Amino acid sequence: MSTYIDPLHPNRHAPYDDIPRDVRDFLNYLGAILNRSPRTVNGYYIDLRTFFRFMARYRGLAPDKEFDEIDITGLDLEFIGSITTSDIYEYLYFLKNERLNEPAARARKLSAIKSLFRFLTVKSNRLHDDPAKDVSVPATKRALPKYLSLEESMELLKNIQSDFYERDYCIVVLFLNCGMRLVELVGINLDDFKEDTIRIVGKGNKERLVYLNQACIHALQNYCDARAKLKNLKDKNALFVSQRTGKRISARRVEQIVERCLKSAGLSGKGYSPHKLRHTAATLMYRHGNVDMLELKEILGHEHVSTTEIYTHINTEKLRTAASSTPLSRVEFTQQKKLPTEQNSAQAISQDDADNDIVAEVPELFDDLEPADHLGQK
């Protein structure tokens, strides 16, 4: 089983009963104490399950088993405590060379291991030594976010093809204007609205207010009028519902809606997704709305402004203006000056020789300063 998350109910998951007991305690700590979302906890579960399956195979405990069939429920605290730093490096090597994981994926999986051992050593005092403490995170190349241009965004809004047009148009408008995450949009309830704001529950169940502009308000009004006419409405408080079942729409269904709209706008095959629409909203706010980093951080629900700062690198117009701002940018090409005549050349050579004589004497002037130079190199 690869995941316990119910796509129709992203806040639910079944017991994690195919992993070691101490790892399950760690996941419960993430959810109950640190208030991490079920989706986040599920990500830790998948990464740690892969790690312990590797360790069982690496230690020779499952020689004849397919990797995904390795039973790790019997791995106790003594086994976990025997894991060394060298074992973790072997695992990272396995991820790179057998699983062909990119640096970002390896860094994420190492982060899960580090968090587990920090819990076992610091939070619950079950282990004394932390083998992951000094393992360096694989260096990752921070790619610039992919986003739609203003013209592409307008083209997308003009080409919404759907059997529930008002809903799907509203979904795209909210993505492009509010910069919310996919799971945030799916989880919106009617009682989250107050005047021109929506209460959004983001990562770590942290709440923030998102302000609605006129485009969002009009799209919501049109959709709510169409939603009220549904005869089979089941989830009465869910904002976005299925026309067929009347229940809250799933995250996967929203992805399909966005994919179809992108295709009808001629924008498919370019790597765009609901999350790229979030990047688009942030980019348009930064480039065209004069929104500063702290404001953008609050709008997007980032915990650290360093996460938001990546959008400072995508304002190509500012870069173009900066390149043109130097006074040398307006210097025009000129033809090479004519070479000197033979007589002038002889004089120039003679002068060069004289200059060389002067240069040859210069080091003597600085002989006494050499010890001072060495003092400055401590």
What DSSP letter does each residue of 276-288 carry, written as one string? HHHHHHHHHHHHH
84: which 2 tokens? 């060394």
Among residues 53, 106, 181, 248, which one is catalytic? Answer: 181
Q: Are 165 and 223 in contact (CB under 8 A)?
A: no
Contacts of 202 (CB under 8 A, 6+ apart): 181, 184, 208, 301
Instruction: State yes or no: is 318 an active-site residue.
Output: no
Give the type of residue at 182: L
Instruction: State yes or no: is 275 an active-site residue.
Output: yes
Instruction: State yes or no: is 302 an active-site residue.
Output: yes
Among residues 57, 108, 208, 275, which one is catalytic? Answer: 275
Give the type of residue at 116: L
Instruction: State yes or no: is 203 an active-site residue.
Output: yes
- 306 CB burial (10 A radius; 0-12, 13-18, 19+): exposed
Among residues 21, 96, 203, 260, which one is catalytic? Answer: 203
Give the CB-side neighbour count of residue 246, counting CA atoms within 13 A: 9
Among residues 106, 276, 278, 279, which one is catalytic? Answer: 278
What DSSP letter does each residue of 332-359 carry, written as one string? PP-PPPPPPPHHHHHHHHHHHHHHHHHH
Instruction: State yes or no: is 211 an active-site residue.
Output: no
**Helices (DSSP H) in the chain: which residue ranges?**
21-32, 38-58, 77-81, 85-97, 103-118, 150-158, 165-178, 182-186, 214-227, 251-264, 274-288, 293-300, 305-308, 316-325, 342-365, 370-375
Q: How many CB atoms lie within 10 A of CB 44?
A: 23
Positions marked active-site: 181, 203, 275, 278, 302, 311
